[in-house]
Homo-oligomer: A and B are copies of this chain.
Amino acid sequence: MGHEPARPAVSRHHGNRHGRSERARQAVLEAADDLVAAKGFAGVTMEEIASSAGVAKQTVYRWWSSKTDVLMDAFLQDAAEHLTPADTGDLDRDLRVHLRQLADFLSHSDPGAVFKALIGHAQHDQTFAAAFRARFLDEQRQRDRLPLDRAVQRGQISADLDVAAELDQMVGPIFYRVLVTGESVDADFTDHLVDGFFSRRPSTPPA
């Protein structure tokens, strides 16, 4: 990214009495982003994040407790926007667009790569897993279900639908392919998932 490759002419910040340096915070998050994109999760170290950000190691540790903590913050800062489903009033269309967006995010974007790294780390760190769910996954799940919730509100689909279960059946296969099998996830695949959703409730034709 652009990330102001040359530090601004603004005189360097050296701390002050009330509160942290915003400059340092941004520099750390951007360095973390850049590094994980360039060298992958395992290739990033706290020491390099600090030196790339032009910041003392202690400053990183003052505000974040670990590499994954930094990466989670960096991820949160620019991830949500990619994953908010649109609302056109047309459930079928909204679902298809959203699933394609999700698949593309996971498969091809830089923050998607960070996301996979964080999910990976969560597999061997329960504490981190809980934090990641609390700070990102729960919200993301709320966003994912928005199209279905709105369709229920509009009366387009039955109110006694188990929204969470249906959602899992649609997004689950995408995550499965990305995290487990490593196959690419194209529009045919995501559209097929939407087809499956509608075919499970024949009484409510798509529009």
Contacts and interface: CB of A to CB of B under 8 A. Distances in A.
A119 to B, nearest CB: 6
Chain A interface residue count: which class?
35 or more
B125 A42 contact: yes
A202 B202 contact: yes
Given A182-B129, A200-B196, A42 B172 contact: no
Contacts of A180: 119, 137, 175, 179
Contacts of A199: 199-200
A23 interface: no
A123 B120 contact: yes
Interface in A21-59: 40-42
Given A121-B120, A124-B40, A202-B202, A171 B182 contact: no
A199 B141 CA distance: 25
A105 interface: no
Classify the secondary structure of A's interface with B: helix
Contact of A165 (B133, B189, B200): B189
A174 interface: yes
Contact of A176 (B40, B130, B171, B192): B171
Contacts of A133: 181-182
A1 B29 CA distance: 44
A126 B192 CA distance: 28
Contacts of A193: 169
A157 interface: no
A39 to B, nearest CB: 10
Interface in A93-139: 116-117, 119-126, 129-130, 133, 137
B181 A123 contact: no
Given A120-B123, A123-B117, A172 B165 contact: no
A179 B137 contact: no
Given A117-B124, A133-B181, 9 more contacts: A40-B124, A119-B123, A119-B179, A120-B120, A162-B192, A169-B173, A175-B179, A199-B199, A202-B202
